[in-house]
Amino acid sequence: MKIAKLLILSFCLSFSLQAKHMPRVAIAGLGIESSTFSPALTLEEAFHAKYGDDVFTSYPFFSKDSSLRKQAEWLPALVGKSLPGGAVTREAYESLVKQTLDLLKKNGPYDGLFFDIHGAMSVVGLDDPEGDFIVRIRKVIGTETLISTSMDLHGNVSWRLAQNTDLITCYRMAPHEDAMQTKKRAVENLLERLESGQGKPAYKAWIPIPVLLPGEKTSTRIEPAKTIYAAVTPASKQKGIIDAAIWVGYAWADEPRNHAVVMVTGDDKAIVTKTAEQLAKSFWDARKGFAFVAPTGSLQEALDKALASNKHPFFISDSGDNPTAGGAGDVTWTLTEILKRPEFKSETGPSLIYASIPGPELVKSAIAAGVGGKVDGYAGGKVDARFAPPIRLVGTVMSIEQGDRNAETEVVIKVGSVNVIVTAKRKPYHKEADFTRLGLNPRKSDIVVVKIGYLEPELYAMRADWILSLTPGGVDQNLERLPYKRIKRPTFPLDKDMAEPDLKAQLVPASDKK
């Protein structure tokens, strides 16, 4: 009898302890980088919003049997991720924010929130959207809840965002091979602080660095970014530090917040500030050393070099309209120039794959004609026709593929010796399978032209040679050609001879302090 009572008692006790210690953690966030130098606009559906338990499918570390999944009571609200694009319409932003806030209201209160954002969202008529978003989230969940923010290193960290979050971090690799690892770290740090009862960090150091660079000059595969970013992980592992991060910032929006930033969080004031200042200084000191990741040239120079080369596949980045940086993705200028060249007029000319151009009407014609059929129609130039009008493509349908998440339908149209990938909607071509599933073999192609900046890992591994072509578009890599009006000045490299900035760490007040 006594034993049974004891057992029941101990069961109840352990149950109540467990219930007490299982933190309630919400998940929310919107991710996009959007160029205000592109005429494109981004609508709500581009975010492919996920709700409730569906949110877990975006994170392998939240799989059903994962240990993280068992460490908290997870309450996912809404997570939306869009391909980069033009500014988000105010309606789309307000709708997504309202849905997030409604869901957060429904499931509260919370011990923690995993805030998964990119950090370079531009919204029509609204400054610092991520700062606005987190302030509105705080109004719903209160200032006690511990927020851990995970970002892209191309995001921007305003003072307001820094103040309203508790923990904050970003990727340490570009290309972002550590994206999932970073999000996981943000979640682990959050749980660690909740489970240990340490809660909010005592110190958050923030240092704005007056440098604005295109991502293509800051690949962590090469110096100086390689060494600067390699120092972040050891810095973050020091006693008294929770995390450390360096943001390059986003160059294709025109707000005061667009510049590099360093943030370090932790409980030891001296080490937090010293580490932040060291990281900021290393970035500033290296500013003149950042260069493009590959040889650059005009399109004509790139094509001349590729045609004369004996290294194939020769990759050319059509960088000004890179849809994964925020270009409209439908600028026809580069393809127009390629098709003008006499070398590609005959079917037996050097083989070139062009990836890609959206052309929903032409895709329809291609489906009607079928594989092997002939088509004659227009593609591109719907969103961004500032540099060239829609392009007329007269050729043979080589393949038709349905069902891609972004493109929906993709067709290959052969014009002379050029295989042009035409899509119903815009899509980035980053993987070998993106080509092979269309029956194309990029390894056997003489030249591959992709709307991209630095080559993503699979393409980089495959290239025999590569030029980053400085083509026109909404994400022009030549920042000095962009009409900035509102970014803070002086900023390097726009103001080359600027004085040394003050890179002293500024301590951001805790989220529950005014």
Residues interacting with Zn ion, by CB under 5 A? 152, 154
E-strand spans in 367-437?
374-379, 391-404, 408-415, 418-423
Tell me the one-letter amino acid at 125: G
CA torsion through residues 226, 227, 228, 229, sign = positive
Shortest distance in whole angstroms from residue 171 CB to Zn ion: 7
Please say which residue, 152 or 321, places its beta carbon nearer to Zn ion.
152
CB 353 within 8 A of CB 419: yes
Residue 136: half-sphere exposure toward Cβ, Cα within 13 Å: 18
Shortest distance in whole angstroms from residue 228 CB to Zn ion: 16
CB 164 within 8 A of CB 194: no
Please say which residue, 154 or 425, places its beta carbon nearer to Zn ion.
154
Please say which residue, 44 or 152, places its beta carbon nearer to Zn ion.
152
What is the C-alpha to C-alpha distance for residues 203 and 266, in angstroms, rounded to an integer?
5
Shortest distance in whole angstroms from residue 33 CB to Zn ion: 7
Shortest distance in whole angstroms from residue 324 CB to Zn ion: 8
* Number of neighbouring beta carbons within 10 Å of residue 478: 12
Please say which residue, 263 or 335, places its beta carbon nearer to Zn ion.
263
Structure tokens at 390: 């829609």
CA-based end-to-end distance of the chain: 57
User: Using the 8-state DSSP alphabet, how is residue 211 labeled?
Assistant: B
Residue 496: half-sphere exposure toward Cβ, Cα within 13 Å: 4
What is the C-alpha to C-alpha distance for residues 155 and 120, in angstroms, rounded to an integer?
5
Please say which residue, 154 or 463, places its beta carbon nearer to Zn ion.
154
Shortest distance in whole angstroms from residue 209 CB to Zn ion: 17
E-strand spans in 235-336?
241-247, 260-266, 296-297, 314-318
Please say which residue, 179 or 367, places its beta carbon nearer to Zn ion.
179
Please say which residue, 154 or 427, places its beta carbon nearer to Zn ion.
154
Residue nearest Zn ion by beta-carbon distance:
154
3-class secondary structure, 80:
strand
Shortest distance in whole angstroms from residue 347 CB to Zn ion: 39
Please say which residue, 176 or 341, places its beta carbon nearer to Zn ion.
176
Please say which residue, 152 or 446, places its beta carbon nearer to Zn ion.
152
What is the C-alpha to C-alpha distance for residues 174 and 279, in angstroms, rounded to an integer?
17
CB 423 within 8 A of CB 290: no
Please say which residue, 154 or 426, places its beta carbon nearer to Zn ion.
154
Shortest distance in whole angstroms from residue 179 CB to Zn ion: 9
User: Cβ contacts of residue 317 below 8 Å, gap of 6+?
Assistant: 294, 450, 452, 453, 454, 455, 466, 467, 468, 469
Structure tokens at 273: 């500030």
Please say which residue, 154 or 257, places its beta carbon nearer to Zn ion.
154
What is the C-alpha to C-alpha distance for residues 112 and 93, in angstroms, rounded to an integer?
23
Shortest distance in whole angstroms from residue 176 CB to Zn ion: 6
Shortest distance in whole angstroms from residue 152 CB to Zn ion: 4
Shortest distance in whole angstroms from residue 84 CB to Zn ion: 9
Shortest distance in whole angstroms from residue 120 CB to Zn ion: 8
User: Using the 8-state DSSP alphabet, how is residue 251 labeled?
Assistant: T
CB 248 within 8 A of CB 118: no
Structure tokens at 64: 């059903």
Please say which residue, 175 or 473, places its beta carbon nearer to Zn ion.
175
Please say which residue, 27 or 151, places its beta carbon nearer to Zn ion.
151
Look up tokens 């950090």; give the residue. 119
Shortest distance in whole angstroms from residue 154 CB to Zn ion: 4
What is the C-alpha to C-alpha distance for residues 15 and 335, in angstroms, rounded to an integer?
65
Structure tokens at 385: 């026709």
CB 33 within 8 A of CB 121: yes
Shortest distance in whole angstroms from residue 325 CB to Zn ion: 8
Structure tokens at 447: 């030249």
Tell me which residue of 380, 384, 240 sits closest to 326, measured CA to CA. Answer: 384
